[in-house]
Structure 1
Amino acid sequence: MTVHLELRSITKRYPGVNALQGVSFMVEHGRTLGLVGENGAGKSTLLDIISGVQSPDDGDLLLHDMPWAFHGPAAATRAGIFRVHQEQALILVYPIYQNLFLGLEKHFTRNGVIGFSRMRAHAGRIFDELGISLDPRLITGTLNFGTRQLVEIARVVAQSEILKIERPLILLDEPTASLSGPELQLFYRIVSLLKTRFNASIIFISHRLDEVLHLCDQILVLKDGQVIDADVTEPTETRLHSLMVGRERPTDFYATNRQRTAFGPPVLEVTGLGSGAFSDVALSVREGEIVGIGGLVQSGKTELGRAILGVEAGRGDIRILGKDVSALPASGRIDLGIGYVPLHRHRDGVMLGRSIRDNIVLPSLRRFTRSGFFSVSQARAFADERMAELKVKAPDSDTLVGSLSGGNQQKVVLAKWLARNPALMVIDNPTRGVDAGAKEEIYRLLRDITHTGCAVLLISDDLVELIELSNTIYFMANGKLSEPVAADPHSKPKEQDVISMMF
């Protein structure tokens, strides 16, 4: 057995919390280690240490059996450690090929002039090797999020070749959170190529436990900053869930028996709605109903949600509580009772550099303002109540959102809208990058708000989630909406019966 990376008793402390406590494990050369755990278990902190972003307070790291202390991510990259983040690090105004070799331009420079043609040719060859059909001259920002994620992975291969790294270690942090359909299958093939053709070892983090079971040779479970199991024997989704959260996963994880089945009048009515991404959409969502929208990446479903909110231009009629809002901006629609959970929470959902309190009260500022003065004490008390309701794990509401785990950040996004008692929630992939325990809590929240009368338009890439949570389901393919599919709690459609509607 050749050990590529070994961690010995790694500990990392932050004020008021031990993020990692005595973590030890090994990654064998040419194998894939799956790293699973709830949000806040310490997974991202662990990757920060391996990739040189953070230094441990105690413990040792060995690379190829040699002690190693990284001095920043650039040093880790030169040593052959590459990280693909869930939240991407690409420059959107650059062509794809420039992103592939970002920071390594000197390798294409002669007499002070960058050889862009050689750079493009090299990028094209990398794409050919990986089976990615993409023109490297395209501007990166014109790609959808899932395709950009494949570019991130291609960049790892490109940079390891330029740096002449014979045995790269690749850290994949939730790389599939925005992938579906053909892109997901391509990702699986690329992971196999990384090991066989490019001689890589991989650490793979995902909340999709079926993917972990499919892709990984060994699975390590973290809980509260400690290793619970360094090599799970006979792993199953149920077994992993139990190790991660300390309890068995409920048989009825989606609690369909507690779904609402009687609905009030329409809250949202859409007729003849169209945009550059979809056309002639007609649907309604009634009081207390969850209507699901499924489809592949770039099907138009995310753009539909944004058009209903009013942040994306659309043609057609939109009514909220019987009022025509087609000509209203997003602010006017929010005043009428819309809440919106976006697909990309870091970009559109939260202010990472501000406190939990600031984020939660942002849509409700007038509530805490009297005679031009803002009451910080009232806002703090209000935010503390919302944190308790949604079980946000943080020392207090002054904690910066950027320091929270992905699941807790998503709860903050939900909290700021639920605090307004919305009539309609448009929610795009609410459990993207969220662990099983946080998923269970978010599902409970969605059920609970329907029983208060809130209507929910649920957009999701997770087909099982869509089927189990929704009362009615539509699918988008090439910008067209399907006929509705009934999803009564007692007679849910099967995945195999509806998946063809996504193509």
Structure 2
Amino acid sequence: MSQESIALRAAGISKNFGPVHALRGVEVELRSGEVTALMGENGAGKSTLLKILNGDYRPDGGSLEIDGRPVEFSDPSDARRAGLRVIAQEPEIIAAVSVAENIFVGDLGGVGFNRRALIERTRTELRRWGFDRALRADALGSDLSPAQRQLVEIMRAVVSRPRIICFDEPTSSLGDEEVALLFSLIRQLQDDGVAVAYVSHRMAEIFQLADRITVLRDGAFVGTKRVSETDHDDLVRMMVGRDLEKFFHRDRAALGETVLELIGVGNEHVTDVDLTVRAGEVVGVAGLVGAGRSELMKTIAGDYPATAGRIVVSGEVRSIRQPSDSIRAGIGFAPEERKAEALLLQRSVRDNAALVVLKSLARWIFVRGRAERALAQEYIQRLRIRTPSSEQLVGNLSGGNQQKVVLARWLATKPRLLLLDEPTRGIDVGAKSEIYAIIDELAHQGVAVIVVSSELPEILGVSDRIYVMSDGRISGELDRKDATEERILALAMNDISA
């Protein structure tokens, strides 16, 4: 089969939800043996398009063809029978059964299936795709890490030998090793002539993997380009309709008092950590996955109490044994897993924004609704949260706007220190720029900020100083003017010769 053969063509695809035009005349071609990246800001229509390809939605207009033949999908089973699989960003795992049963769910042959044979079959598949060191066929779903859960979801798709496979932000929960395994798998799929669609906000991944890039904006098709014919700035212009002349909004603010000082802080997650951050300073924390960055943030926030050393906040030694202690110390914490750990997805923007300051909004035991609505509206306007109203369910917002709601909650407490763990994870380039602007504004207002990020350009762009972690320890400290990606990586890998 030719590399140029079109496995899937979506022509003039439109989808409306009431008065909202989610897709308008979208054109996409997926070619056998190629990776086509689908790019666009949150709300551009990528997820809606994938749901149409998966049979979750039926388009209101346009047509789908596979190998030149018209197809219509009533549900996901139709798509699977046609050889098309979509790998969701948030995998569905059955906790009480094995990895093998999770991978082959729906293909177990009834209650009398041979479990031993299934385990061996799974081990064979794991070896074939290079996942055998990352997953055990007999491990329980309940014991899997977020990264392993995502790998199970990927395996579930590839064992069915699809002709067309679509990945939706597949690396959002993966570490560097798992990302390398995924890229190797995708290249195997290409060698087998599979057509691949790849959705990601991470530009580096796109330029490493993709052959072509199709850009959507506001539900409409903007264009398709070969990777060799475009660059980062060109893609940003296509996605947001403007130049991001100053993508990282960071001008060093005047520094004030030392807001946080860690002296030999340790517990089962981190060891002998010394760290300072001053008012008006943005401090970055870098390191490889598993280095202890998130664990350090949770230690400061009281989720993982320190068992050694001292935590000093504005000159006062504080005992931070639980999150309420850190809140009283003037510390706000936006965790990496905002949906699981920070947001009440089935509650409104108003409820989420006011959650930590309800006591201050109450008269006697009753929360004053007017005051709560006023607070929510203040931060909707200040942070430019795109929502129909403060009563909108947070679960219905885009990732960037969800993150702004988390920030609103902590800004309402007037924090001395704000901890941001992967604040732009899963967020499009336009929303990232807005988050960076908020961080810069907070620093100029005298707030101390610590940012954890896996994206080195982001750490370099927003930070005044950078601490690098390795194996739960601080392995080095760099000033903004001295920091480079190479120096950060050398410290992250404890490569003292670099």
Q: Say yes or no: TM over 0.5.
A: yes
* 1:445 partner SS: helix
2:6 corresponding residue in structure 1: 3
Say if 1:272 and 1:315, in contact at 8 Å, map to a contact too.
no
Q: Which residue of 1 aligns with 2:44?
A: 41
Q: Residues 10 and 20 of structure 1 are in contact (CA less than 8 Å); yes or no, is this contact kept in structure 2?
A: yes
Deviations 1:454-486 (A, max 9, x none): 111111101111122112211221222213212
State the alpha-carbon separation in 2 of the partners of residues 274 and 90 from structure 1: 34
Query: Which of 217, 227, 242 is equivalent to 1:223?
Result: 217
* Partners of 1:190 and 1:318 in 2: CA distance: 45
Over the matched positions of the two proteins, sequence identity in percent amounts to 36
| Cα pair distance change 1:354/1:76, threshold 3 Å | farther
The DSSP-based 3-state class of the residue aligned with 2:14 is strand
Q: Report deviation, 1:448.
A: 0.7
CA drift of 1:122 comes to 1.7
Distance 1:263 1:340 in 2: 21
| Compared CA separation, residues 363 and 232, structure 1 to 2 (3 A) | farther
The answer to whether residue 149 in structure 2 is matched with residue 190 in structure 1 is no
1:425 aligns with 2:418: yes
Distance 1:85 1:293 in 2: 29
Unmatched tracts of structure 2, length 5 or more: 494-498
* Alignment partner, residue 126 of structure 1: 125
**Which of 369, 375, 381 in structure 2 is aligned with 1:376?**
369
Between 1:477-486 and 1:178-187, the stretch displaced more is 178-187
Shift of 1:92: 4.6
What residue is the counterpart of 1:21 in the other structure? 24
Q: Distance in 1 between matches of 2:351 and 2:365?
A: 17
Task: Verify the 8 A CA contact 1:34 1:204 in the aligned structure 2.
Answer: yes
Question: 1:481: which partner in 2?
Answer: 474
Please state whether the residue corresponding to 1:254 is helix, strand or coil: coil
- 1:170 correspondence with 2:173: no
Give runs of aligned pairs for residues 450-469 of structure 1, distance below 5 A.
Answer: 450-469=443-462
Aligned in 2, Cα 1:55/1:379: closer, same or farther, shift over 3 Å? farther
Q: CA deviation at 1:232?
A: 5.5
Letter matched to residue 238 of structure 2: L
- Note if contact 2:320-2:326 (Cα within 8 Å) is conserved in structure 1: no
Distance 1:217-1:474 versus aligned 2 partners, 3 A rule: same
Q: Distance in 1 between matches of 2:315 and 2:31?
A: 61
| Cα shift at 1:90 | 2.4
Distance 1:93 1:425, change over 3 A: farther
Q: For residues 268-283 of structure 1, what are the structure 2 equivalents within 5 Å?
A: 268-283=260-275
Q: Deviations over 1:52-98 (max 9, x none)?
A: 22222222222333333323334433432222222332245543223
User: Match of 1:127, as an amino acid?
Assistant: L
1:408-443 deviations in whole A, cap 9, x for unaligned?
222222222122221111111111111111111100
Q: Deviations over 1:278-297 (max 9, x none)?
A: 22222122211112111111
> Could you say which residue in structure 1 is the equivalent of 2:83?
80
1:149 is aligned to 2:144: no
Q: Which residues of structure 1 form unaligned runs of 5+? A: none
> Which segment drifts farther, 117-126 or 76-85?
76-85
Contact 2:279 2:446 in 1 (8 A): yes
- Aligned twin of 1:497: 487
Would the aligned equivalents of 2:286 and 2:488 in 1 still touch at CA under 8 Å? Answer: no
SS state of the match for residue 82, structure 1?
Answer: strand
Q: CA shift at 1:180, angstroms?
A: 4.3
Checking the alignment, whether the CA contact within 8 Å between 2:303 and 2:321 is kept in structure 1 is no
User: 2:72 maps to which residue?
Assistant: 69
Shift of 1:214: 2.2
Q: 2:427 aligns with which of 426, 434, 453?
A: 434
Q: For 1:231, what is the secondary structure of its paired residue?
A: strand
Quickly say closer, same or farther: Cα 1:277–1:78, change in 2 above 3 A.
Answer: farther
Letter in 2 for 1:56: P
Q: Return the alpha-carbon distance in structure 2 between the equivalents of residues 52 and 280 of structure 1.
A: 53
1:461 and 1:141 mapped to 2: Cα distance? Answer: 26
Tell which deviates more after alignment, 77-86 or 462-471: 77-86
Tell me the equivalent position of 2:496. none
Describe how 1:333-352 pairs up with structure 2 within 5 A: 333-352=326-345
- Higher alpha-carbon deviation: 426-435 or 478-487: 478-487
**Distance change in 2, residues 1:374/1:67 (3 Å):** farther
Contact 1:427 1:458 in 2 (8 A): yes
Change in Cα spacing, 1:228 to 1:341, as seen in structure 2 (3 Å) is: same
Distance 2:115 2:263 in 1: 49
Count of residue pairs brought into register by the alignment: 486
Shift of 1:2: 2.9
Task: Answer yes or no: is the 8 Å Cα contact 1:292–1:460 preserved in 2.
Answer: yes
Cα 1:104–1:331 change in 2 (3 A) is: farther
**Within the alignment, does 1:247 sit opposite 2:242 as a pair?**
yes
Give the SS at the match of 1:457: strand
Judged with a 3 Å threshold, the aligned counterparts in structure 2 of structure 1 residues 155 and 312 are, in CA distance, closer, same or farther, namely farther
**Structure-2 separation of matches of 1:235 and 1:105:** 46
Aligned partners of 1:116, 1:354: CA distance in 2, in Å?
42
- Equivalence for 1:137: 138
Which amino acid is the alignment partner of residue 119 of structure 1? L
Determine helix, strand or coil for the equivalent of 2:389. Answer: coil
Measure the CA separation in 2 of the matches of 1:268 and 1:92: 40
Letter in 1 for 2:152: V
Aligned equivalents of 1:419, 1:238: Cα separation in 2: 35
1:326/1:95 CA distance change after superposition, 3 Å: farther
Deviations 1:282-333, CA, capped at 9 Å, x for gaps: 2122211112111111121111111211122431232333344335321232
Matched residue type, 2:155: A
